[in-house]
A and B are shown apart, each in its own frame.
Chain A
């Protein structure tokens, strides 16, 4: 990832999350991207239901779920330890009291299952 894009990514995230001092940093490039319609197109792809991203955006070994197979995929839930529930399609784990667990989420999906 180039330095410019790295900085832009971080700045966009902080601007999105309303950290005011970062907003000016992205104004120039963002204006170009917005003017070109690129942001709009990307948001439509992310916002629309049944709108898949073009395949060349996928990461290398991505395996799409079968057509009409999302419910099965979504309902794939397991418990790696008592009181912990993990949802594969959400890439998230919760405690029995309903609270999201960052540690369990990281352990199950980022550090290797």
Chain B
């Protein structure tokens, strides 16, 4: 193998390694699935509520995937109620429709986190356990 070929192979290997590393950093997030789930599906919940819904979906996924993590059902139910607040000017039927849509969003996010967590369970559960162990961290786990 001549020297130019060796250099070329080495450079290609480095590029491939860098590319793999870049993917590894971010391949836990299911980018396209999240986009497909959320596009044209905004406005029901405020940004604060949407982030809260994500956290609730994540907490449920962690409780299902990770040993040592279990939902505190009472706290969880209260947090879901808080996240779904709003729509007070709607009729009762519209409020029910709104709630159904919010529950759909919660279930969708829960499924995506289950998929992400399953893909890299060790990292996913390590993060969840660290959050649980942090006394300053709010969560709805026992």
Chosen A-B contacts, 13 in total, with CB atoms closer than 8 Å, are A10-B81, A12-B99, A38-B96, A38-B100, A45-B97, A49-B40, A56-B94, A57-B97, A57-B101, A62-B43, A65-B42, A99-B123, A99-B127
Contact-size category for A: 35 or more
Pair B97/A38 contact, Cβ less than 8 Å = yes
Bound-complex Cα distance A96 to B56 (A):
21
Pair A90/B81 contact, Cβ less than 8 Å = no
Pair A91/B51 contact, Cβ less than 8 Å = yes
Chain B contact residues, majority secondary structure = helix
Pair A9/B81 contact, Cβ less than 8 Å = yes
15 additional contacts (CB under 8 A) given A58-B44, A106-B52: A9-B84, A9-B102, A10-B81, A16-B107, A33-B100, A42-B98, A45-B97, A46-B41, A57-B44, A58-B43, A85-B26, A94-B29, A98-B26, A101-B127, A102-B139
Bound-complex Cα distance A89 to B47 (A):
9
Q: B67 contacts the other chain (Cβ, under 8 Å)? A: no
Task: Identify which of residues 48-81 in chain A touch chain B, using a CB-to-CB cut-off of 8 Å.
Answer: 49-53, 55-59, 62, 64-65, 70, 74
Binding site for B on A (CB under 8 A): 1, 5-6, 8-14, 16-17, 19, 33, 36, 38-39, 41-43, 45-47, 49-53, 55-59, 62, 64-65, 70, 74, 85, 87, 89-92, 94-103, 105-106, 108-110
**Min CB–CB distance B108 → chain A (angstroms):** 8
Residues of A within 8 A of B113 (CB): 100
Binding site for A on B (CB under 8 A): 24-29, 34-36, 38-48, 50-52, 54-56, 58-60, 71, 73, 76-78, 80-81, 84-90, 93-107, 110, 113, 116, 120, 123-124, 126-127, 131, 134, 137-139
Residues of B within 8 A of A92 (CB): 34, 51, 54
Pair A109/B124 contact, Cβ less than 8 Å = no
Bound-complex Cα distance A58 to B85 (A):
12
